[in-house]
Amino acid sequence: MPNTVSTMKSSASNMPRKILFIVNPNAGKRISDKIIDAIKKNFPEHINYQIVIWKDKHHFQDIVELFINRDYTDVVAVGGDGTVNEVAKSLLNTNIALGIVPIGSGNGLARSLGLSMKLEEVIQQIVIGKKTKIDCGMVNGRAFFCTSGIGFDAQIGHLFATSVKRGLSSYVKITLKELFSYRAKNYTIKINGEEIKRKAFLITVANAGQYGNDFYIAPEAKLNDGLFHVVILKPFNFFKVFEIFLKIIMGKAQKSKSIETYVSKELQVIRENPDSIHFDGEPASETEVLNYSNQNQALNVIVGANFKS
């Protein structure tokens, strides 16, 4: 079973919430200890909560059994996008709400939900517990909640995952290094009854607007409308790089002439060979045929006060 760090019992029997914090220690012991101390310091005594350390990915099923069998109302993922994805997909189509304490490099879903990047503030947002439902994207049976991509961003995801150094600066360095060596590939996209053939630098299927770090590849995408925004970045020359980058960070990517966007609840992408793909930034390999579908409002989540439906 997972290592239990702390449990607090409710002093008020009429309080229904029961919260499980799942801490991924891969961020380092110092950070993990700081977060655990902050939870203990800032969480009110009248709310039941428990903290477990997720020490081994192979033992995650033990944690799933813990929160399914003990009537938790909220499960809070403490970690990066990979941790959040793993916890979130275990909560699909249940009444348990996902909370996030973001400590990753991108924190795409946390940002999209209006959650704070400041530790004490996000703990207070979890205490308040404002909730809504969001969609889940599926591709060949794998779940994602922000974006899934093929092409350049999948290549970057793979290189970043195997990099010794983490953080935004490392991500930017890898991106800049690959930017001028990566070559666009041929794809067939079946969407809304059409078959579209494109040579593309990348294709991103966006459930939310951003990758993370407020890099908005699909600014008009919404988390709970049952639709994907499918972004195709066409081949571009050196002089277009800065225009595309600027529009992405300004939240105006859809206005770039190098970008095509389609909206649909499902699609199929066919590429020439099996290749890399990413799910919320986590890299993997998949076949040449990719089937995407949207599960509308399949996940309960805790959101910040400024989250817009």
Q: Which residue has the tokens 């399914």?
A: 68
Domains of the chain in sequence order? 3-136 (3.40.50.10330), 142-294 (2.60.200.40)
Q: DSSP string of 48-117? A: EEEEEE---GGGHHHHHHHHHHTT-SEEEEEESHHHHHHHHHHSTTSSPEEEEEE-SSS-HHHHHTT--S
Q: Does residue 13 surpass a pLDDT of 70?
A: no
Confidence (pLDDT) at 5: 46
Across the chain, mean pLDDT equals 89
| Confidence tier at 28 by pLDDT (50, 70, 90) | low
pLDDT, tens digit (0-9, with 9 covering 90-100), for 68-99: 888 899 999 999 898 999 999 999 999 999 99
Nearest to 105 by CA among 134, 84, 87, 75: 84
pLDDT in tens, 35-69: 999 999 999 989 999 999 987 767 788 888 888 88
- In one-letter notation, the amino acid at residue 79 is G
**Angle at CA 232, nearest 5°, toward 226 and 234?**
170
158-178 pLDDT tens trace: 887 777 676 667 777 887 788
Torsion angle in degrees (nearest 10) through CA of 87, 267, 150, 181:
-160
Query: What is the average per-residue pLDDT within 265-278?
Result: 96
Q: Which residue has the tokens 């947002």?
A: 125
In this prediction, residue 177 carries a pLDDT of 82
pLDDT, mean of residues 118-143: 97
